[in-house]
Homo-oligomer: A and B are copies of this chain.
């Protein structure tokens, strides 16, 4: 099992990387789960209806099946486990749906009219390969497919509707799309921490939370479990974004698979830019501890979610 949080950790003073030797590392935990997700994603692409033009299918596969961390699917699967799901399979459609939405948002955000990025997951971005028009359609198709998957493959109907509701909220104008719109409009130019947190809460945090909630819904979670995951997800989302900003400053482009220094280069507000590298790092550590503390009531079944949170501080991509 995972050792208890170091007492100093909660104050954000020390990084906590002490996972006991008897427990699998996060990369091992992930490796035990992602092949199922990859296989399902591939199956969804293979099963696109006949009316889907071959080039569109190819562009969807190019974007969706590119090597990714699959963090959101893992959150869904691990949340289902943490809530005592009795089936390993129940949350797989939800895991695929959140990855489809994440992937659609990357494809659209990378467009020249948005962030104008050339590199994603170590490959040329979708529009660089297939053109802007088809890239817009790839995003549209993936967003639609996410709801298709939930409506077809989550059981019972009440859980499927709840999943559609959560995903639509997290992906909608008030969250994912709204955060990107503010980002696009340069709202963070206000140069304050609250604007930055508000954009990230919507752009990253909301989909982290939705991933956890969808997993929990598929496991038939109770209210206490939902609440614990919400606290976990809120802290984790912010920690992840801070670590993303740190990687953008310090990271290795080859490992990341995308350009580094691009946010700073564009004059975009980042946590290290606002708080300094060291304070940002300490805050991320404190947030990860906060996330892990929130899991306490879920017991040993939440060990993989704890490992995932700790990994946020260690990752190089």
Contacts and interface: CB of A to CB of B under 8 A. Distances in A.
Interface of A: 48-53, 55-57, 60, 104, 108, 111, 113-114, 131-134, 136-137, 139-141, 143-145, 147-148, 150-152, 157-158, 160-162, 164-165, 167-169, 171-175, 177-182, 184-185, 187, 198, 202
Contact of A143 (B49, B143, B164, B187): B143
Most chain B CB atoms below 10 A, which of A50, A164, A175, A181: A181
30 contacts: A48-B172, A49-B169, A49-B178, A50-B174, A51-B173, A51-B175, A52-B174, A55-B185, A57-B173, A108-B136, A108-B137, A111-B136, A113-B133, A113-B136, A114-B133, A133-B184, A134-B184, A136-B136, A140-B143, A141-B177, A143-B144, A144-B171, A145-B168, A147-B164, A147-B167, A148-B165, A148-B168, A148-B169, A151-B168, A160-B161
Nearest to A148: B168
A132 B133 CA distance: 12
A143 B101 CA distance: 12
Q: By CB atoms of chain B within 10 A, which of A49, A139, A140 has the most?
A: A140
A48 B173 contact: yes
A51 B180 CA distance: 11
Given A136-B108, A158-B157, A53 B185 contact: yes
A178 B56 contact: yes
A160 B150 CA distance: 12
Given A113-B132, A178-B52, A151 B173 contact: no
B145 A49 contact: no
Contact of A114 (B136, B169, B182, B198): B136
A108 B137 CA distance: 9
A151 B164 contact: yes
A187 B113 contact: no
A202 B137 CA distance: 14
A185 B131 CA distance: 11
B168 A144 contact: yes
A52 B199 CA distance: 11
A137 B136 CA distance: 11
A179 B50 CA distance: 11
A119 B61 CA distance: 34
Given A52-B173, A57-B173, A165 B144 contact: no
A174 B48 contact: yes
B137 A164 contact: no
Given A51-B175, A179-B51, A113 B131 contact: yes
Contact of A144 (B56, B151, B173): B173
Contacts of A187: 53
Nearest to A105: B140
Contacts of A111: 133, 136
Residue of A137, A160, A165, A173 with highest tally of chain B CB at under 10 A: A173
